[in-house]
Amino acid sequence: MVKRVNPLEIYKNVPKGIDFKKYGLDSGMAFVTSLLERKVKIEDIAELKDPKNEKAVQKIRELTTPPQRPVVFGTGKRACVIGGEEVMYRHELTFFNKTAIAIDVHDKLDEVSLLAAVEHITNFKIERIGEQLRLEAIAIRCLSDDPETFKACVGKVAEKTDLPLILCSFNAKALGEAARAIAAKKPLLYAANKSNWKEVGIIARELSLPVVAFSTDLDELISIANSLAKGGVKDIALDPGVTSGDGLVAQSINKVVMLRTAAVETGNPKACWPVIAVPATVWIGVDAAKLSKDKLHEIQYKEANLAGMLLSMDTSLLICHTGRNPDDIWFLLGLATLRQNLFVDPRIFPAVDPGLFPVGNPTNKSPILVTTNYRMTKIPVEEDLKSAGVNCWLLVVDTGGIGVESSTAGGQFNADAIAESLKKFKWQEKVAHKVVIIPGMSARVSGALEDAAGAKVLVGPNDSSSIPKYLEKVWSPDGPKES
């Protein structure tokens, strides 16, 4: 892995006399640390925009640019950042920019179908474990190979979405006309190959747009990318041409890994770009309208399988075909869930705020259930209770974002911590009883908790899905049942 730069080396280049406290930072070193953690940007500091600091800022940019450079396309709040990673595997540090998922449409779709797909892709949103899962881009394919048709289609899509757009064609004229029409939206150009790279490079340089270099041959791919860079194109992504089929998936994944290794492990400046892939290639030569339902699902599953493997390899951007219709929710949910799990920062326990929260419509006779502030514990517990129609109070104890079993074993979820939380969040102002229900995996603290909190402690089930049936046995509308 390319060695991460020493913060002190960056700090030496930070101009003196900047009051970082007005930006919520304690010092110049705090700025440097936050910069390395991607919590702030150079542009956030007004003084660094001063021309007199140009050389210092340039040096700071050089030192903080990751070995795999980030590429931004789109504008506004939904602008998409791909690449920008420093490690091969997230446990070595973390992945900073999650794999972007784009869904394709094309310029031969009728207007009703086109706009319906655009609306669905734009507004797709699923909330899972406290996080909104969304799509990042729309890829528009020039299926007609006609510049005017493609330009008109791109214009219609651009008017109806705030998502970043990827313009897909090997026809440089079609790509250029469409790109010029929506250049202000900073689309990603796909793609420059061995035949059109000069023309596409001119368009990208003229409009200051990012571009994808494409070739199934890695040496040729690197050559195209470097020719684009020498021609003045600043932002480039690499597509090594993934394919599926017997023995081909392994080759495709190897290409992605080799490109990432060249950038991240060896710091090769000729391969320092994000890597993208197109699982939608499984549909090449397929007429979906002529497929049986079973055959359609078979190809969709093949695409999902390929996309999942590529996502697991930290491919920077995926362009998929399945997902433009509401019936494809299974495909999008599967990819988005996998991505959410892969891109959790391994250095940070995902925590929620502690507190005493109402679930449903609790009264002073409702039970108090206790859990930890690990996000993957608190939110599923809360959802299980809500879906079962349980009215209760949920005490969330600060365990540093550690789950019930681990924090009980590690001592963070102990009698004193729970008793202190009960007191802090004024449980006796919420209920007229003195009964607390703790998770089954923390049964060992029940006796000590009774002494520390002056409460009667009941030991509930291990799994939150069993709580409703458990409450039927131990609780009534008038409070706890006599044991």
pLDDT, tens only, 275-298: 999 999 999 988 888 999 999 999
Mean of all residue pLDDT scores within the chain: 94
**Ramachandran area for residue 77 (φ above 0: left; ψ -120 to 50: alpha; else beta):** alpha
Query: For residue 411, what pLDDT is reported?
Result: 94
Please state, in angstroms and rounded to a whole number, the distance separating the CA atoms of residues 102 and 117: 12
Pair of tokens at residue 99: 């794999």
Q: Give pLDDT tens digits for 146-163.
A: 999 999 999 999 999 999
- Of the listed ranges 87-91, 380-384, 413-417, the least confidently predicted one is 87-91
- Residue 97 in this model has a pLDDT that exceeds 90: yes
Rg (CA), the chain: 27
Please state, in angstroms and rounded to a whole number, the distance separating the CA atoms of residues 23 and 64: 20
- Residue 374 in this model has a pLDDT that exceeds 90: yes
pLDDT band at 1 (very low <50, low <70, confident <90, very high): low
Query: For residue 312, what pLDDT is reported?
Result: 93
- Residue 381 in this model has a pLDDT that exceeds 90: yes
Q: Return the SS3 of 226.
A: helix
- Residue 320 in this model has a pLDDT that exceeds 90: yes
Q: Give pLDDT tens digits for 176-211.
A: 999 999 999 999 999 999 999 999 999 999 999 999
In this prediction, residues 217-237 reach a mean pLDDT of 97
